[in-house]
Amino acid sequence: MFFPVSSPSNMEHTSSQVLLDNFNGDTSNGLLSDMKTDKFTQVAEVKELVENGRFVGPEIEIKSTGGDCCRKEKKIRKHRYAFQTRSRVDILDDGYRWRKYGQKAVKNNKFPRNYYRCTHQGCNVKKQVQRLTKDETVVLTTYEGVHTHPMDKPVDDFQNILNQNQIYTPF
């Protein structure tokens, strides 16, 4: 799996993965519960939106299982995407600027969940970050939405430096 993030010097990533299991109805950790209530139970595809080699946002494409007899499978894009990272630090700098707007205690978890919104004007991408109790070296990050602007922070990765000269306009 492509890991979309730059690697500033204060980060220590040793692994990352997409939590495909949680998109299949497992809401035991309280995350992604709306996937269930929305009555979409099958994940057709989980992929990262990559434009010109640069990560621009997460995307989940879901095929609805219920519904219309006359219509073919309806595709719904939820733009929600989760991955977990093994890191000692909570603050994972992914190149975008986030404003914290909430913090909640999570059931069955001694660590709080943090809610962030992208500070860019008109870009309402959200993410939530929580540390797992069962392995407190794991940080689970859930993104919702797609950035409508390029990241504003320079990174030390050469490919990212090249890609900063490109503007992504999804609509």
Query: Which residues of this protein are in contact with DNA, per CB under 7 A?
Result: 30-31, 33-34, 37, 97-104, 106-107, 113, 115, 119, 126, 128
- C-alpha distance from residue 154 to each of 45, 85, 108, 150 (Å): 31, 22, 38, 11
Using CA of residue 163, residue 48, residue 105, residue 120, what is the dihedral sign? positive
Shortest separation between residue 160's beta carbon and DNA, angstroms: 21
Shortest separation between residue 46's beta carbon and DNA, angstroms: 18
φ, ψ dihedrals at 150, nearest 5°: -75, 160
Q: Tell me the C-alpha distance between 55 and 150, whole Å.
A: 10
Residue 51 or 112 having the CB closest to DNA: 112
Residue 98 or 168 having the CB closest to DNA: 98
Q: Tell me the C-alpha distance between 55 and 131, whole Å.
A: 24
Residue 83 or 98 having the CB closest to DNA: 98
Shortest separation between residue 71's beta carbon and DNA, angstroms: 22
Q: Which among 26, 23, 20, 141 has a CA at the least distance from the CA of 78? A: 23
Residue 115 or 168 having the CB closest to DNA: 115
Shortest separation between residue 30's beta carbon and DNA, angstroms: 4
- C-alpha distance from residue 155 to each of 60, 88, 92, 111, 169 (Å): 26, 20, 13, 29, 21
Shortest separation between residue 58's beta carbon and DNA, angstroms: 15
Residue 7 or 109 having the CB closest to DNA: 109
- C-alpha distance from residue 80 to each of 53, 57, 77, 115, 159 (Å): 20, 9, 8, 14, 25
